[in-house]
Structure 1
Amino acid sequence: MIRKGHCASKPLSATLRLLALATAVCAAPIAAYASADDVASLYGPQPPADATYLRVLNLSTLTAKVSLPSGARPVDLGPGAATALDVVRPGTSLQVKVDALAPVLQAGSAPVAGPDTVGATITLAIEHTEAGAWRAVPIAAPAASTDALRAQLRLFNFAEGCDGKVALERTGAQSGAPVVFEHVAPRHALARSINPVAATLVAICGDAVSAPLALPRLAAGQSYSLFLSGPASRPVLRGVLDTLDWPRGAR
């Protein structure tokens, strides 16, 4: 018997009869190696390893014209919407412009992509102030290892004064509902791996519960972000599938 990857010796008569089969079997590993690059191409062009990921979340009731660091054309971002993740290289400014003006950033945001931000996902939430200016609050989620067999879920807490908690919806029994995230401080993010199942979630701030959010059935290897916002007395939970604007202009 000829095993895969090994060409055994045979008498001359047997060799003549099995020549075609032996050639095919011995060539199989070569074909497998040749197709490895083709398999990699299924995933498309990958972003550079030193990239920082940046997106804008519009928490206002107005449509904003957002310009991202990549230099692509401005995006009209509606209320409650988020941009795709912009891929930012080291040394590039992380400044975002809204309606052609730079919003007022909160302290603690990195001005330039660099070693400290590599792999991080920065979500910049913008709000329109009573004075007519745009205010921005950044939250950075550190780079996390991925599990090809599970999906990743992340929570970004933009709700001031809320000890962020997210649980599975359970009518009339929120206190006993299975918890997905808890004790996520304002302006912080937390991530966890989950099985790729569909679910309905609610955010909880003290005794206040948000409207339910239906989580899509995520595929293994996908990442989904939850955004907790609003006052602690009226929390709002939004979500978006994490998608990259890469290669540039592909979306």
Structure 2
Amino acid sequence: MKRISLGKSKVAGAMAAAVAATALLSAGMAHAAADDVASLYGPQPPADASYLRVLNASSQAVRVALAGSEAPQTLAPGAVTRFSVLTQGTPARVTVDGKVLADAAGSATTANATPRAGDAVTVALRHDTKGWHATRIVGRYERVDGLKATLRAFNFASGCSAKIGVDGNGPTVFALVAAGAQDARAINPVSAKLVGQCGAAASAALPLPTLAAGDSYSLFVTGDAAKPVLSGARDALAWPPATN
């Protein structure tokens, strides 16, 4: 049998070509992985951003405009905006029916204070004979457990320490959320109807939507201690900003 020899130069050339091909393959795989991440998570806001959304806790529609990335819109009773993304140093300003919102005490500074990086501000609007008023609860924009769904509870009901549980004397989901406070927990994706309670007074049942691992959903207790109302919405970002 005749032995075939490539020679040192040919062997070296073949090895260099193999290394180059491997590098190209690795770069292609890395690029594909980056594309997969981008398609899964989408464009991300700045790391030092904060977040702002508005809940219409009144019985009438309202026109709102938020600082940041969310577009002006008309909110129906019980509706909530997406989280508007605020760049660092931007006040959490909310305009209601063309007027910059003041809090219930008449001070524009409280309702429109500048949040810290990573803060998520939820502003609930109420209306009475004196006009629109705001109550705000500040939390953090983060998932409790990426392998489960995140459930958040916000208590805007005055004079109420809220309990949220499964309808029909089922398990308690949130044992106690003080007025003006929030809580969060991770849950396995389930189908359930939830009820908010202020002492013996209970809200109508609210069906949870189908939640997958990584999803985030907020529950809002509004009304008052005598007549609590439970509503909910998926947590969504207004990002990237819409372009004209």
In the TM superposition, residue 48 of structure 1 has moved relative to its aligned partner by: 1.0
Letter in 2 for 1:33: A
SS in 2 for 1:165: strand
Aligned partners of 1:12 and 1:230: how far apart in 2? 87
Whether 1:127 aligns to 2:120 is no
In the TM superposition, residue 36 of structure 1 has moved relative to its aligned partner by: 2.0
Aligned residue runs from structure 1 range 117-156, under 5 A: 117-131=116-130, 133-156=131-154
Whether 1:182 aligns to 2:175 is yes
Aligned residues: 226
Cα deviations across residues 71-123 of structure 1 (Å, max 9, x unaligned)? 76521111111111100111112120100112321579474434xx2222211
Matching residue of 1:16: none
Matching residue of 2:34: 37
Aligned partners of 1:145 and 1:243: how far apart in 2? 13
Q: Is the 8 A contact 2:102 2:110 kept in 1?
A: no
SS in 2 for 1:219: coil
Letter in 2 for 1:200: K
Taking structure 1 as reference, are residues 231 and 39 closer, same or farther at Cα in structure 2, changes over 3 Å only?
Answer: same
SS in 1 for 2:34: helix
Counterpart among 174, 185, 201 of residue 194 in structure 2: 201
Runs of 5+ unmatched residues, structure 1? 1-10, 14-18
Q: Is the 8 A contact 1:166 1:181 kept in 2?
A: yes
Letter in 1 for 2:46: P
Q: Is the 8 A contact 2:58 2:78 kept in 1?
A: yes
Aligned partners of 2:147 and 2:5: how far apart in 1? 49
Q: Is the 8 A contact 2:143 2:150 kept in 1?
A: no
Matching residue of 1:99: 97
Aligned partners of 1:45 and 1:243: how far apart in 2? 13
Letter in 1 for 2:121: I
Q: Is the 8 A contact 2:70 2:85 kept in 1?
A: no
Aligned partners of 1:144 and 1:73: how far apart in 2? 23
Aligned partners of 2:239 and 2:69: how far apart in 1? 13
Matching residue of 2:231: 238
Scaled by the length of structure 1, the TM-score of the pair is 0.81
Aligned residue runs from structure 1 range 23-62, under 5 A: 26=22, 29-42=26-39, 43-62=41-60
Q: Is the 8 A contact 1:104 1:136 kept in 2?
A: yes
Runs of 5+ unmatched residues, structure 2? 7-13
Aligned partners of 1:12 and 1:85: how far apart in 2? 68
Aligned partners of 1:206 and 1:109: how far apart in 2? 30
Cα deviations across residues 119-154 of structure 1 (Å, max 9, x unaligned)? 2221100111112x1101001123444422111000
Identity of aligned residues (%): 43
Letter in 2 for 1:126: L
Aligned partners of 2:5 and 2:36: how far apart in 1? 39
Q: Provide the alpha-carbon RMSD of the alignment.
A: 2.6
Taking structure 1 as reference, are residues 110 and 78 closer, same or farther at Cα in structure 2, changes over 3 Å only?
Answer: closer
Aligned partners of 1:144 and 1:45: how far apart in 2? 16
Aligned partners of 1:210 and 1:163: how far apart in 2? 14
Aligned partners of 2:155 and 2:5: how far apart in 1? 75
